[in-house]
């Protein structure tokens, strides 16, 4: 596949992933409640799993939020899309670098400067 076609496909995939991407890391927790006599207070199973998303906020502090059951599937897909998006952006950046360097080499050749010793 030619470089231009690879770039076109990457840009389309980046656009698709960006539509659903969610920044953060998933974790599940199990908790005890405040009701006395509840099975979670003793050796019984805790309540959960509860899905949470954590991320580093604007000021560098880790923060997060609870994900309701109805939003868990979409949230999992969004976090997976974020990971793919980062990978595709790195690939596009590599293609951009290669393109710029190739253009510089071609420009140097066409100007008659050739390669430096």
Domain ranges of the chain: 3-110
pLDDT tens digits in sequence order for the chain, 117 residues long:
688 899 999 999 999 999 999 999 999 999 999 998 899 998 889 999 999 999 999 899 999 999 999 999 999 999 999 999 999 999 999 999 998 998 898 888 887 665 555
Q: In what order do the strands lie in the sheet with 47-56?
A: 25-31, 47-56, 62-67
CA neighbor of 28 nearest in space, from 67, 71, 73: 67
């Amino acid at each position: 596949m030619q470089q231009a076609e690879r770039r076109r496909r990457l840009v389309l995939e980046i656009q698709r992933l960006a539509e659903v991407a969610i920044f953060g890391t998933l974790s599940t927790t199990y908790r005890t409640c405040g009701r006395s006599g509840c099975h979670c207070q003793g050796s019984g199973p805790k309540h959960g799993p509860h899905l949470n998303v954590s991320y580093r906020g604007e000021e560098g502090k880790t923060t997060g939020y609870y994900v309701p059951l109805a939003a868990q599937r979409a949230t999992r897909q969004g976090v997976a899309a974020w990971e793919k998006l980062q990978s595709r952006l790195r690939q596009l950046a590599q293609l951009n670098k290669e393109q710029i360097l190739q253009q510089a080499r071609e420009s140097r050749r066409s100007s008659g400067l050739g390669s430096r010793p």
